[in-house]
Amino acid sequence: MADKYSAVWVSHSSMGDFLKCPRLYYLHNMYKNPATGHKMSIVNPHMALGVAVHEVLEGLGDYPADTRMSYDLLKKYEEAWKKVSGKMGGFNSLEEENEFKARGKKMIENVIKDPKFLVKKCIKLKRDTMPCNYYISEDHNIILNGLVDWIEYLPETDSLHIIDFKTGKNEEKDGSLQLPIYLLLCNALQKRKVTRASYWYLESDKLVEVPLLDLEKAHKDVFDVAYKVKEARKEAGRMGPEKVFVCPNGPYDPKTREGGCQGCRPYEWILNNDDCVEFVGVGGFGQDMYMVKK
Ligand code: SF4
């Protein structure tokens, strides 16, 4: 019988790390500090901005559609910001924090001006304390997990519109696994069909609808990467992770502080007790969080 505890869990973030580089995947998703037993995570201002804005918008799904805009969203944003303020958000100065906070405020103001589908019916996928998840392959014991930002219910067709909130400036690249993963989660965890998918770029207030995704192709694209992750982890179990999750740019040298690239350097700094990283607390999923000092 399938066992969720021994399964390999994959998400958009972990597969993104894996596709970027093997060592990055290992350091962010597998390595555990022997002293705390925790994985490690780097906080940064872009992430802090995303967390605060997402908390406000996703939280609206808990209220009936016709009441959502009667709440003071800017006040909710102030509350959400408190959790990422200062070092917890990776901010090196008040000036930097204020700049990011103002960007988020502008996004919330855009939403207040034109809430789009936020005032229409939505649904939520079932979940417990873990993000939404299902077996993308029971044979291979792989679980796909993730949180869909928003799922609009379309009564005319009794179908769904999945939406990803974007707080960054860059548009999502073609070939991103994000919407395919959302599609698979929706398909596995509820009965209605997904007929639309969009990115909402909150800073420019641009809603970009993307072509309808094919379920089989989404499954193949996501499973192919998930399977490679699973195989790499299996090999690491046999040979040791340092032999499998190797940096293509050569190893980081703590003496010269060279080698690798910016992708992994903050994690290498943590492993080498470098002064330029600072522990800031334990995150929601029990990971040790660090910020990079400038
Ligand atoms: S240091 Fe850079 S090149 Fe090396 S594994 Fe990490 S992200 Fe890849």
Is pLDDT at 173 greater than 80 in this prediction? no
What's the whole-number mean pLDDT along residues 45-59? 97
More confident residue, 55 or 212: 55
- Per the structure block, which two tokens stand in for 261? 């690239």
The predicted model scores a pTM of 0.93
- Please give the pLDDT value at position 170: 81
Closest Cα partner for 140 from 214, 218, 222?
222
What's the whole-number mean pLDDT along residues 190-215? 93
- Please give the pLDDT value at position 75: 98
Q: What count of other Cβ atoms lies within 10 Å of the Cβ of residue 268?
A: 20
Going along 105-240, which residue ranges are E strands? 132-137, 142-146, 150-154, 159-166, 194-201, 206-210
- Please give the pLDDT value at position 210: 92
283 Cα–ligand 1 center, Å: 24
- Please give the pLDDT value at position 145: 95
What's the whole-number mean pLDDT along residues 245-253? 92
260 Cα–ligand 1 center, Å: 5
Residue whose Cα lies nearest atom 5 of ligand 1: it is 247
What's the whole-number mean pLDDT along residues 163-175? 85
Is pLDDT at 44 greater than 70 in this prediction? yes
- Please give the pLDDT value at position 113: 97
Is pLDDT at 263 greater than 90 in this prediction? yes
Q: Which residues line ligand 1 (CB under 6 A)?
A: 20-21, 23-24, 247-249, 260-261, 263-264
- Please give the pLDDT value at position 85: 97
- Please give the pLDDT value at position 1: 55
Confidence of residue 156 (pLDDT cuts 50, 70, 90): very high
| φ, ψ at 261 (rounded to 5°) | -155, -175
- Please give the pLDDT value at position 2: 62
| Mean pLDDT (the chain, rounded) | 94
What's the whole-number mean pLDDT along residues 209-231? 94
Q: Is the separation of the CB atoms in 15 and 225 below 8 Å?
A: yes
More confident residue, 127 or 220: 220
Q: Which of 18, 19, 20, 31 to mutate to test the pocket of ligand 1 (most atoms within 8 A of CB)?
A: 20
Q: Measured between alpha carbons, how far is 199 from 57 in angstroms, rounded to an integer? A: 14
Q: Which of 24, 252, 271, 272 to mutate to test the pocket of ligand 1 (most atoms within 8 A of CB)?
A: 24
